[in-house]
Each structure stands twice: as structure tokens, then as C-alpha cells.
Amino acid sequence: MIYRFFFILIVFLSFQGLSAQDIDVKLLNEIITDLIGDQDNIDIPIYESISHACNSDYISCKKGKIIGLNFQFSNLNGHVPKNITKLKNLEWIDLDYNYLSGPLPNGFSALSEIKELRFNGNFITGPLPLDLTEVNKKVVIDLSENVIDIGESKIKRRCNIINQVNLEGCRSPDSIYISKNLSLRKKDKDTEIEIDTSAIEVNELPETQDSTLNQDDKKEFKMVESMPRFPGCEGQGLEEKEVDECAKLKMLQFIYKTLKYPALARERGIEGMAVVQFTILRDGSIGSVVLNRDPGGRTGNSAQWVVNRMNYICDKWKPGIQRGRPVKVLYTLPIKYMLQKRK
């Protein structure tokens, strides 16, 4: 109890002499630290003042007050903290398409100006805070594509929770979308995403020097005897070439359905080619995902996000095979982002 008293006293004293704006900036930095989590994120700064925050891509302000958090596709690996609900002037929170985990905090019903709560495409779990049902019915609450199981709760009728990831579906901790809730979205009329299949490269990775490995496992091959394949085409009686074409088509369908054009890139008219490289491990799972080319506007982050999402479908990739043994393979994937020209 004594420790708790002194902790509260220190927090109280730390806010003495600060303006309302200074308090908001201090609070904002604490919120961002929790959102980022343990992974380094050099793109998101520590804000020194309200003007510094309001002039960034991540924060929207009106008359010196923070009214919006714009963290879509920001590689956030932490959790949504309770003190996010203390920014009382917020009109929207956009945390879509990150890697946030854990439950949502209580307190969103206290945000009297809020219009949008967007948490789509993370790994947020239940139970959901009951006060979400008290949020104004005009407020958009998007919790789709997370890992929430809320049964028949009345919160289910209040929020958008389609396409929840089912951690019990195939293998844990990997997962599959619950098919009964699957709902395809219409493609945006003003955006287009293309994948140049002729530019896709596949190369085997050299193994670390381990005396227990077969000599073939230590070699770096230009090509492997059997290339890795996206799941969904095995065991259908197809010829080898037909299986390869089928797997490529399945991968493209997954990407086109799952990938989103970042709002920041759309607003700024940013187009271009993002190139990601990822490792297909011996067990068929996706290893490290590296961004080699980034047009900006968080398009590179969105390309990384969709590849990482491949680890959360039902079946793993069929790994590359060399001399009858599965091997690590480096896969290069170019994704072109284009905006439709308005007439």
C-alpha cells in the first residue's frame, strides 16, 4: 500500500505545471509505446510537443486538440492500452492491419466525440468490453479479422466481427478463417493492386554450417527440384506443371482478397512497386519477411502484412524439395500499387 501511494504521488507530481496540451502529448507517447510493443519501430517518433504530433502522419488535430490516431499498417506489435480512452477529444481511432494482441480495454463509451473505432486485421482477443454496447449507435466499430470468440453476446450485434480467425480450427497458434462468417468485400473502384508473376523469384537459402546436416542442406542452389507451393492444390490428380500453376493462382487469389491499399498512400496519390522477400521454411510455414522496396505511404507495410497473414490460413505451404529433403527457400514477391485515373 505504501508503494502504491508513492507511485500515485509521483504520477500526480509529474503532471503538475503541465498544460492540457503537454499532458496530452505525454499521454500520447505512453499510448504509442504500448501500441508498438517490444519490436523496434523507428518510423513512429517520440513527440516533443503538440505541434510536432499534429504535423505527423499518425496524428490528426483540430485547434490544438488530438482528434484522430492514424496507425493503419504501422507494424504495431503491442496491445491497445487503457489510457487510449483518456484522449477525450478523439473522433476516430484507426489501428487497422497491424499485429496487436490481447483484449480491448474498457472506457470507449466515455469518448463523447468518437465516430470510428477501427481494429480490423489484428490479433485482438476477447472478452470484449461490455461498454462497447453503450457507444453511440452511429459509431463505426470494426473488429473484423481478429481472434475474437464472443458467442451470442449482444456485442456481436453491435460490432462488425466478420472473418474472425479461428485458433482452434487447424493448428495452434496458427489458424483459419471461420468459413461461415466469410464475406467477400467489393474491390475499391479507385485502386488497383497487381502482382507481376514474371518477376517472382524463388531461390534456395544456404543453411548455417551444422555438421549434423546433409551436404545438400549446406549448398545454395540456383533452383530446387520441387518449388514451394501455396496450399490448396495437392491431391487433385493434377500434373506437376498444373499443380504449380494452380498453387500460383491460389496465392494470387489470397493476396488480392486480403491485401488493402493503405489510406495514407491513397490520400497522397502514392503508387509504385513494393518488393518483399520471405522465407518458406522446411515445415511450410513463413519465416522472416523483409521489405526490399517500398514506394512509401505504408504500401511496404501492407505488403509485409499480407505475407505474414499467410501463416494464419489452414494449411501450410508445401516446402521446396531438393534430393528428397525439404529445404528453406527464399521467395521474392513484387506487388504493384496503382490508383485509377479519374475521368
pLDDT in tens, 218-233: 544 446 678 889 998 8
Alpha helices, DSSP H only, in 143-275? 155-158, 215-218, 240-258, 263-268
pLDDT: is 241 or 176 the higher one? Answer: 241
CATH superfamily, domain at 19-181: Ribonuclease Inhibitor (3.80.10.10)
Q: What is the CATH number of domain 191-339?
A: 3.30.2420.10
- Most confident listed range (40-44, 73-77, 150-154, 281-285): 73-77
- Nearest to 72, CA basis, from 25, 107, 26, 121: 121
Q: Where in the chain is the domain with CATH 3.80.10.10?
A: 19-181
The candidate with the shortest Cα–Cα distance to 294, out of 311, 273, 264, 263, is 273
Sign of CA dihedral 210, 211, 212, 213: positive
pLDDT band at residue 39 under the 50/70/90 scheme: confident
Q: Is the pLDDT of residue 111 over 90?
A: yes
Q: Does the pLDDT value for residue 171 go beyond 50?
A: no
pLDDT band at residue 163 using 50, 70 and 90 as cut-offs = confident
**Does residue 2 surpass a pLDDT of 60?**
no
Over the stretch 233-281, which tens digit does the pLDDT of each residue have?
888 888 888 998 999 999 999 998 889 999 999 999 999 999 999 989 8
Nearby residues of 64 by Cβ (< 8 Å), 6 or more positions away: 21, 50, 54
In a 10 Å sphere around its CB, with 0-12 CB exposed, 13-18 middle and 19+ buried, how is residue 21 labelled? middle
Q: In the chain, where does the domain assigned CATH 3.30.2420.10 lie? A: 191-339
List pLDDT tens digits, range 112-127.
Answer: 999 999 999 999 987 8
Q: Does residue 129 have a cis bond before it (omega within 30 degrees)?
A: no
- Selected residue with higher pLDDT from 170 and 103: 103
